[in-house]
């Protein structure tokens, strides 16, 4: 669809950026010490920190990706919501308080708290950088993809805009300004999603006739034809999102309560769209979008999306793939470096616990809303059949132009908040962990200087990657980040807490093997073959795409075996480490 | 919890509390893991069950909302138990 850039969206976004930048400069003086820069001095109130957790965690993939997936395929997107939230249970019950007790600025601090091992510092900082970069790419590509329909700017300008604003936020006030940006963004995202949900419930459903199929042809010369004529404002794709039958043959449901809304949909018939690409003899490619009347009961159960079809089949590898994904979502959250550093911004363990609970409540509430937003978009009559990611903003447009502007600006700031957290995590890994691996004894001033330089460098790398990966569907990189984080970081954290026999070399080996094996598995998987290399998925070297179910246990086994092999002799008296243990 | 004897730390009572909180956390974690595990298992190995209607909607919806609600309820319960420990 051709989008008219929205002046209100530009204004709303500009106001938000002005506020966040002003806040950053105002707070800049609080980030002059290393503790201020990396951990906001531990002064953040637990409630603010809890909402900032939501602002940190709910990335563009959560907001736009999940809403789009539900709008196009029904329940399957909600599986991600459930998995993403479940991960917070691990964070609260297992990780939060010990991490706060044992660390200072980074999660490597906690891993290393009993050992002072160079190996742990190196392995943990490399895994932090790897996970952060994987997570950054889809955020930046998302910024570029959003900016075009929303503001009318080219892709690169969106990426550079986000990069420049985030670098400024991080460089001026580190974790202090990052926290408040995430707090603002988290609050706005939850509040506006709730407003949209109320409007959806109030509108209810209205039955409409079955729509006709649509075709987009891209000719060899790159001209886009819609339904046989060149694409223009007059001849554009028709917006989609239809209920074709309501229970009892009603024409309209009127306002509905949250439960009645789902009951009504369960008993209705809606239209889902399937697309097929057909290469033609003259070198042009036609994509045909076909409407399919689908029972509501079918929409509200899992297994409609291509990635989840396997759970209704008989293939064991498809089922393992699903288990593996749900395990990575469960174990990944409490292993993401940009989430873990937020435990150091509060004053004590009790605040760490309380802020996690606030995080769980706000993120859980948001994920409940994603179901209504997705289903509301599915039945809004306003959706672009070619672009899943635009489902949430277009849903907002079906109510009012101002809401569209607000939701678009919030989607854009969603990218800002998450990217800022990732860049702080990466700069901590370099300035705090890597420098100690190289035995550089930096004072506070130099440490912050190095952290700022790292923030600029990582920000520029993210911008370049965001431009290079333009046009690729990179949302699966978020999945990579979860799998790599869960495999590399979680086994080491958990075993350190619960097994006294854990040694420095055990941790180093576990982080390294977890990271390398999960990455290697992903690079050899069918998903990567088809989506990245353009090869048939059947040539993949591993039986299914999600590594977690293999590589997370592997990292546990490696930790135990290496720890047993490098255990210190039992005659140790003073509780000091032996030289070989310290060598890591 | 890492093999400290009470004489290791000046805050003997605190380390006792830390162990109790960790135990509460583990029990609640195991409880949630069982609920989440059953959800994932049913989806993978008995997907038809998820289509069953409960209260007018699919079990998938009810269970999904239940998982989100359970996370919040268990989190609040954990906070209650931890605070009672300090009282």
In this model, does residue A435 exceed pLDDT 60?
Answer: yes
Q: Please report the pLDDT score of residue A528 as a whole number.
A: 83
- Concatenated DSSP letters of A336-349: -HHHHGGGGSSSSH
Report if residue B42 sits inside a domain.
Answer: yes
- Return d(Cα A452, Cα A423) in angstroms, integer: 10
- Return d(Cα A205, Cα A245) in angstroms, integer: 10
Tell the burial category of A510 from Cβ atoms under 10 Å away from its Cβ (0-12, 13-18, 19+): buried
Helix (H, G, I), strand (E, B) or coil at A272: strand
In this model, does residue A40 exceed pLDDT 70?
Answer: yes
What is the 3-state secondary structure of A127-161? HHHHHHHHHHHHHHHHHHHHHHHHHCCCHHHHHHH
Mean pLDDT: which of A212-226, A277-291, A366-380, A443-457 is highest?
A366-380
In degrees and rounded to multiples of 5, residue A335 shows phi and psi of -120, 0
What is the rounded average pLDDT of the residues A20-27? 84
Predicted confidence band of residue A242 (pLDDT cuts 50, 70, 90): very high
Q: Please report the pLDDT score of residue A471 as a whole number.
A: 67
In this model, does residue A573 exceed pLDDT 60?
Answer: no
* A536 secondary structure, DSSP code: -
- Return d(Cα A236, Cα A81) in angstroms, integer: 33
User: B65 lies in which domain range?
Assistant: 11-86
Q: Write the CB contacts of B35 (distance below 8 Å, at least 6 apart in sequence).
A: B66, B67, B70
Q: Please report the pLDDT score of residue A13 as a whole number.
A: 80
Report if residue B2 sits inside a domain.
Answer: no
- Return d(Cα A14, Cα A69) in angstroms, integer: 29
Report if residue B64 sits inside a domain.
Answer: yes
Q: Which of A47, A70, A82, A111 to mutate to test the interface with B (most CBs of B within 10 A)?
A: A82
In degrees and rounded to multiples of 5, residue A277 shows phi and psi of -90, 130
How do the domains of chain A map onto residue ranges?
7-26+33-203+312-473
- What proportion of chain A, given as a percentage, has pLDDT over 70? 96
Q: In this complex, which of A85, A90, A301 lies closest to B58 when CB atoms are compared?
A: A301
Second-level CATH architecture of A7-26+33-203+312-473: Up-down Bundle (1.20)
> What is the number of other CB atoms lying within 10 angstroms of the CB of residue A22?
11
pTM of the entire predicted model: 0.91
In this model, does residue A148 exceed pLDDT 80?
Answer: no
Contact between A341 and A171 under an 8 Å Cβ cutoff? The reply is no
- For B57, the enclosing helix (H) or strand (E) is strand B57-58
- Interface check for B64 against chain A (CB to CB < 8 A): the answer is yes
What is the rounded average pLDDT of the residues A338-367? 93
> What chain A residue is nearest to B51 in terms of C-alpha separation?
A301
Helix (H, G, I), strand (E, B) or coil at B58: strand
Q: Write the CB contacts of B45 (distance below 8 Å, at least 6 apart in sequence).
A: A319
Predicted confidence band of residue A5 (pLDDT cuts 50, 70, 90): confident
Strand partners, A230: A225
All residues of chain B having their beta carbon less than 8 Å from the beta carbon of residue A323 are: 40, 44
Tell the burial category of A574 from Cβ atoms under 10 Å away from its Cβ (0-12, 13-18, 19+): exposed
In this model, does residue A571 exceed pLDDT 70?
Answer: no
Q: Please report the pLDDT score of residue A16 as a whole number.
A: 82
Say whether B78 and A297 touch across the interface (CB within 8 A): no
Tell the burial category of A156 from Cβ atoms under 10 Å away from its Cβ (0-12, 13-18, 19+): middle
Q: Please report the pLDDT score of residue A412 as a whole number.
A: 81
Q: In this complex, which of B1, B44, B75 lies closest to A360 when CB atoms are compared?
A: B75
Predicted confidence band of residue A510 (pLDDT cuts 50, 70, 90): very high
Say whether B78 and A78 touch across the interface (CB within 8 A): no
Report if residue B3 sits inside a domain.
Answer: no
Helix (H, G, I), strand (E, B) or coil at A470: coil
What tokens were used for A52? 């900032």
Residue listed under structure tokens 């506020």: A19
- Return d(Cα A23, Cα A181) in angstroms, integer: 8
Q: Please report the pLDDT score of residue A386 as a whole number.
A: 87
Q: Please report the pLDDT score of residue A15 as a whole number.
A: 87
Q: Please report the pLDDT score of residue B67 as a whole number.
A: 97
The answer to whether the Cα torsion of A307, A308, A311, A312 is positive or negative is negative
Predicted confidence band of residue B3 (pLDDT cuts 50, 70, 90): very low
Q: Please report the pLDDT score of residue A221 as a whole number.
A: 83
Q: Which of A93, A305, A575 to mutate to test the interface with B (most CBs of B within 10 A)?
A: A93
Residue listed under structure tokens 């998925």: A537
Predicted confidence band of residue B2 (pLDDT cuts 50, 70, 90): very low
Report if residue B1 sits inside a domain.
Answer: no
* Helix pair angle (B59-86, A76-90), 10° resolution: 10
What is the rounded average pLDDT of the residues A353-378? 96
Residue listed under structure tokens 């150091």: A344
Say whether A300 and B58 touch across the interface (CB within 8 A): yes
Say whether B28 and A79 touch across the interface (CB within 8 A): no
Predicted confidence band of residue A192 (pLDDT cuts 50, 70, 90): very high
- Interface check for B50 against chain A (CB to CB < 8 A): the answer is yes
User: Picking from A60-74, A506-520, B44-58, which range would have the lowest pLDDT averaged per residue?
Assistant: A60-74
In this model, does residue A143 exceed pLDDT 90?
Answer: no
Q: In this complex, which of B50, B57, B79 lies closest to A263 when CB atoms are compared?
A: B57
Contact between A447 and A435 under an 8 Å Cβ cutoff? The reply is yes
What tokens were used for A74? 């029904």
Say whether B26 and A300 touch across the interface (CB within 8 A): no
In this model, does residue B9 exceed pLDDT 70?
Answer: no
In this model, does residue B10 exceed pLDDT 50?
Answer: no
In this model, does residue A9 exceed pLDDT 50?
Answer: yes
Q: What is the rounded average pLDDT for all residues in chain A?
A: 88
In this model, does residue A250 exceed pLDDT 70?
Answer: yes
ipTM (interface pTM): 0.90
Predicted confidence band of residue A547 (pLDDT cuts 50, 70, 90): very high
Report if residue B33 sits inside a domain.
Answer: yes
Predicted confidence band of residue A584 (pLDDT cuts 50, 70, 90): very low
What tokens were used for A136? 């950054």
- Return d(Cα A307, Cα A304) in angstroms, integer: 8
Structural domain tally of chain B? 1
Predicted confidence band of residue A409 (pLDDT cuts 50, 70, 90): confident
What is the rounded average pLDDT of the residues A343-358? 92
Q: In this complex, which of A300, A311, A497 lies closest to B47 when CB atoms are compared?
A: A311
Q: Please report the pLDDT score of residue A152 as a whole number.
A: 78
Tell the burial category of A377 from Cβ atoms under 10 Å away from its Cβ (0-12, 13-18, 19+): buried
Helix (H, G, I), strand (E, B) or coil at B80: helix
Q: Please report the pLDDT score of residue A472 as a whole number.
A: 67
CA angle A578, A562, A127 (to 5 degrees): 95
Predicted confidence band of residue A570 (pLDDT cuts 50, 70, 90): low
* B52 secondary structure, DSSP code: S
| Gap from B68 CA to chain A (nearest CA, Å) | 6
Q: Please report the pLDDT score of residue A7 as a whole number.
A: 81
């Amino acid at each position: 669809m051709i989008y008219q850039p929205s002046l209100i969206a530009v204004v709303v976004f500009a106001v938000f950026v002005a506020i966040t930048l002003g806040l950053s400069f105002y707070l800049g003086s609080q980030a002059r010490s290393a503790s201020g820069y990396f951990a906001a001095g531990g002064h953040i109130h637990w409630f603010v920190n809890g909402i900032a957790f939501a602002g940190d965690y709910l990335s563009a993939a959560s907001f736009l990706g999940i809403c789009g997936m539900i709008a196009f395929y029904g329940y399957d997107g909600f599986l991600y919501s459930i998995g993403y939230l479940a991960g917070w249970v691990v964070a609260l019950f297992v990780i939060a308080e010990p991490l706060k007790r044992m660390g200072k600025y980074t999660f490597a601090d906690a891993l290393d708290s009993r050992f002072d091992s160079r190996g742990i510092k190196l392995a943990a900082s490399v895994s932090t950088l790897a996970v952060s970069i994987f997570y950054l790419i889809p955020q930046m590509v998302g910024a570029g993809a959003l900016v075009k329909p929303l503001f009318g700017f080219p892709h690169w300008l969106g990426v550079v805009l986000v990069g420049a604003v985030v670098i400024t936020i991080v460089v001026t006030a580190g974790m202090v300004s990052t926290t408040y940006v995430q707090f603002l963004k988290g609050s706005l995202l939850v509040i506006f999603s709730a407003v949209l949900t109320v409007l959806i419930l109030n509108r209810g459903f209205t039955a409409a006739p079955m729509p006709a199929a649509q075709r987009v042809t891209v000719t060899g010369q790159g001209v886009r034809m819609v339904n046989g004529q060149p694409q223009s404002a007059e001849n554009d794709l028709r917006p989609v999102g239809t209920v074709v039958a309501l229970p009892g043959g009603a024409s309209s449901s009127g306002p509905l309560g949250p439960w009645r809304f789902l009951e009504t949909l369960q008993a209705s018939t809606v239209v889902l769209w399937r697309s097929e690409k057909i290469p033609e003899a003259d070198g042009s490619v036609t994509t045909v979008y076909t409407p399919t009347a689908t029972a509501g009961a079918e929409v509200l159960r899992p297994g409609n999306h291509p990635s989840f079809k396997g759970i209704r089949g008989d293939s064991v590898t498809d089922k393992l793939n699903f288990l593996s994904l749900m395990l990575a979502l469960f174990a990944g959250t409490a292993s993401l470096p940009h989430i873990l550093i937020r435990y150091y911004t509060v004053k004590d363990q009790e605040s760490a616990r309380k802020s996690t609970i606030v995080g769980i409540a706000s993120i859980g509430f948001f994920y409940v809303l994603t179901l209504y937003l997705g289903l509301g978009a599915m039945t809004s009559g306003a959706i672009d059949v070619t672009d899943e990611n635009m489902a949430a903003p277009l849903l907002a447009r079906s109510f009012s132009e101002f809401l569209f502007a607000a939701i678009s600006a919030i989607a854009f700031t969603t990218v800002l908040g998450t990217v800022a957290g990732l860049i702080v995590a990466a700069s901590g890994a370099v300035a705090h962990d890597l420098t100690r691996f190289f035995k550089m004894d930096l004072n506070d001033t130099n440490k912050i200087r190095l952290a700022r330089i790292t923030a600029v460098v990582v920000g520029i790398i993210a911008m370049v990657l965001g431009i290079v990966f333009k046009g690729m569907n990179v949302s699966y990189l978020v999945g990579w980040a979860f799998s790599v984080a869960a495999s590399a970081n979680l086994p080491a954290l958990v075993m350190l807490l619960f097994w006294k026999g854990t040694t420095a070399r055990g941790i180093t080996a576990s982080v390294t093997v977890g990271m390398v094996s999960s990455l290697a598995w992903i690079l050899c998987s069918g998903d990567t073959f088809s989506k990245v290399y353009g090869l048939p998925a059947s040539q993949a070297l591993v039986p299914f795409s999600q590594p977690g179910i293999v590589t997370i246990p592997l990292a546990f086994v490696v930790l135990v075996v290496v720890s047993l092999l490098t255990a210190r002799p039992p005659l140790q008296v003073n509780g000091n480490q032996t030289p070989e243990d310290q060598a890591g | 919890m890492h093999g400290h004897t009470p004489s290791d730390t000046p805050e003997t009572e605190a380390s006792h509390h830390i162990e109790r909180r960790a135990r509460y956390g583990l029990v609640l974690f195991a409880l949630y893991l069982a609920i989440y595990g059953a959800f994932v298992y049913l989806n993978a190995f008995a997907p038809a069950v998820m289509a069953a209607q409960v209260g007018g909607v699919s079990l998938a919806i009810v269970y999904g909302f239940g998982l989100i609600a359970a996370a919040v309820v268990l989190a609040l319960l954990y906070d209650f138990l931890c605070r009672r420990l300090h009282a």
